[in-house]
Amino acid sequence: MSDKERGARVRFPPPLVFLTCVISGFAIQRTVMTVHYPVDRWLTIAVGLVVLLTGASLVASARILFLRTRQNPVPWTPTPQLIFTGPYRFTRNPMYVGITFVMIGIGLVRDNPWVSAFAVPALLVVHLIAVRPEETYLATKFGDPYRAYLARVRRYL
């Protein structure tokens, strides 16, 4: 089976990277070093909810587009077509950006800076294990249309 038929060479589910970092943040907060945001608690809750809901909306809108185009969001499955609408107009990775926002929002709402802080390393790991292989796969499969998309839309924000 060729790379075009197989899908991207992603070996580990990206959502598990984010989940592992969320759990680690809660574990560190509880067992190693408790820290809090140095601002009013209601402010962190309000900002956290906005960030969390923004992230969840990004993930949901991208997921809906996958359903409408009958694609599987699992990165190691074949991609039948490129999506250029919805959140894909301004980020090539709305699900990963959205999950990163959800992590930051959870950290804010729960007054756990560890969870928020681990969002960036989680995205970096996902970038290395998923985004790079996905981009290689999509460039191989779709060629010039995908390269044109790369030129006009940012990877993250």
Is position 7 within any domain? no
Check if the beta carbon of residue 37 is closer than 8 Å to that of residue 108.
yes
Decide if 35 is inside a domain. yes
Total number of domains in the chain: 1
Minimum mean pLDDT range among 5-14, 83-92, 132-141: 5-14
Q: Is 8 part of any domain?
A: no
Q: What is the model's pTM?
A: 0.94
**2 pLDDT higher than 60:** no
Mean pLDDT of 105-119: 98
Res. 136: pLDDT tops 80: yes
Is the residue at 43 inside a domain?
yes
Residue 89 lies in a domain: yes
Q: How confident is the model at residue 150 (pLDDT cuts 50, 70, 90)?
A: very high
- Please check whether residue 3 lies inside any domain of the structure: no
Tokens encoding 129: 């294990």
- The answer as to whether 131 is a domain residue is yes
19-47 pLDDT per residue, tens: 999 999 999 999 999 999 999 999 999 99
- Residue 6 has a pLDDT of 79
Q: Residue 124 belongs to a domain with what CATH number? A: 1.20.120.1630
Q: How far apart are CA 140 and CA 123, in angstroms?
A: 24
Give a yes or no: residue 4 inside a domain.
no
Q: Domain range for residue 60?
A: 14-73+80-152
